[in-house]
């Protein structure tokens, strides 16, 4: 029997880019893999491709949008209907916008997708994670250099700065993950942050010059070259750390850590470990918490 058989791995945003390549690699190990995404057609076609390429038919697609509280809660319900235990949750779906945008709940969109969604989805799936032995949560970050968090700017209160707002939201997610790791330690669920590495994907392909602040706009042609369509080659490379985090036995019991694209441990920025910074991010999250949205 394959070592990963019997394990269930959920990957949000597993229908394209790095998430898809992660799903492909993890499905190859024999695990059951549930991929999620907003678009049903894209999801069904990703699912078919994974089954065809790996021979693993225990792959499923679950539709869901994590940009709203209602969407997160609906996705969590759909996932637990299919899986009574979840061994690995990969919070991979992310958002990078070139212009200011708000979620359906009135939150700054980077905060909604990159910070609130991984927190809320993890907690909504906690019973299924607790039902697995040594469950792992992997939160996928962006920006290879851990950067300082300004707790007064988690929803771009000091002005929207495109790529910088994206990177700051990922730093806030790193702090949130450290707090979540502490919270879930007594439940035996680990939480770690992984950096995949740069890849040419729909996300990077959609970046416009507007997303670059000030003089960085001059670098736009260079970035276009760097993120040139490559048929999934760079996304496959970037998926290595997620595949390792999801399947490696040496990862059991490891929590509250950060690993780079080469799966090497690094330190986050000191502000990510600062409990006051974590508390102010959690305060913004808690302000969004009410009773779960009713079933349709």
Q: Footprint of ligand NAP on this chain (CB under 6 A)?
A: 12-19, 37-39, 42, 64-67, 92-94, 113, 140, 142, 196, 198-199, 201-204, 235
- What would you report as the CA-atom Rg of the chain, rounded to the nearest whole angstrom? 18
Question: Which is closer to ligand NAP, CB of 83 or CB of 113?
Answer: 113
Question: Which is closer to ligand NAP, CB of 15 or CB of 278?
Answer: 15
Q: Are 103 and 68 in contact (CB under 8 A)?
A: yes
Question: Which is closer to ligand NAP, CB of 2 or CB of 61?
Answer: 61
Contacts of 251 (CB under 8 A, 6+ apart): 136, 190, 192, 244, 245
Structure tokens at 102: 């708000």
The least CB distance from residue 188 to ligand NAP, in Å, is 26
Contacts of 4 (CB under 8 A, 6+ apart): 26, 29, 30, 31, 247
CA dist., res. 43 & res. 255, Å (int):
31
The least CB distance from residue 50 to ligand NAP, in Å, is 12
The least CB distance from residue 214 to ligand NAP, in Å, is 21
**C-alpha pair distances (Å), 72 with each of 14, 93, 169:** 15, 12, 18
The least CB distance from residue 133 to ligand NAP, in Å, is 27
- DSSP class of residue 221 equals H
Structure tokens at 186: 């007594």
Question: Which is closer to ligand NAP, CB of 75 or CB of 135?
Answer: 75
Question: Which is closer to ligand NAP, CB of 235 or CB of 277?
Answer: 235
Question: Which is closer to ligand NAP, CB of 1 or CB of 264?
Answer: 264
Closest CA to 64 of 87, 101, 27, 92: 92
Question: Which is closer to ligand NAP, CB of 42 or CB of 82?
Answer: 42
Question: Which is closer to ligand NAP, CB of 189 or CB of 203?
Answer: 203
Contacts of 142 (CB under 8 A, 6+ apart): 94, 96, 166, 167, 170, 195
The least CB distance from residue 141 to ligand NAP, in Å, is 6
Q: Are 181 and 138 in contact (CB under 8 A)?
A: no
The least CB distance from residue 251 to ligand NAP, in Å, is 19
The least CB distance from residue 15 to ligand NAP, in Å, is 4
The least CB distance from residue 103 to ligand NAP, in Å, is 9
Helix axes 240-247, 17-28, angle to 10 degrees: 40
């Amino acid at each position: 029997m394959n070592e990963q058989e019997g394990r269930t791995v959920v990957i949000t945003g597993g229908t394209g880019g790095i998430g898809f390549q992660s799903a492909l690699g993890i499905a190859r190990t024999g695990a059951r893999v549930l991929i999620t995404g907003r678009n049903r057609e894209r999801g069904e076609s990703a699912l078919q491709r994974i089954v065809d390429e790996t021979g693993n038919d225990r792959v499923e697609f679950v539709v869901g949008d994590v940009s709203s509280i209602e969407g997160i809660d609906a996705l969590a319900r759909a996932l637990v209907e299919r899986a009574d235990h979840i061994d690995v949750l990969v919070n991979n779906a992310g958002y990078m916008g070139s212009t200011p945008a708000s979620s359906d709940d009135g939150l700054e969109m980077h905060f909604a997708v990159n910070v609130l969604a991984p927190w809320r989805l993890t907690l909504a799936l906690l019973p299924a994670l607790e039902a697995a032995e040594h469950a792992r949560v992997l939160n996928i970050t962006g920006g290879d250099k851990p950067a300082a968090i300004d707790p007064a700017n988690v929803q771009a209160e000091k002005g929207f700065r495109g790529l910088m707002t994206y990177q700051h939201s990922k730093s806030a997610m790193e702090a949130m993950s450290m707090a979540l790791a502490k919270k879930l330690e007594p439940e035996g669920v680990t939480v770690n942050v992984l950096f995949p590495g740069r890849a040419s994907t729909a996300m990077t392909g959609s970046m416009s010059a507007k997303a670059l602040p000030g003089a960085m706009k001059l670098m736009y042609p260079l970035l276009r070259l760097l993120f040139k369509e490559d048929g999934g080659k760079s996304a496959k490379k970037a998926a290595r750390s997620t595949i390792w985090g999801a399947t490696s036995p040496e990862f059991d019991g490891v929590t509250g850590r950060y690993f780079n694209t080469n799966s090497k441990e690094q330190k986050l920025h000191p502000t990510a470990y600062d409990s006051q910074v974590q508390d102010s991010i959690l305060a913004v999250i808690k302000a969004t918490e009410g009773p779960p949205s009713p079933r349709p």
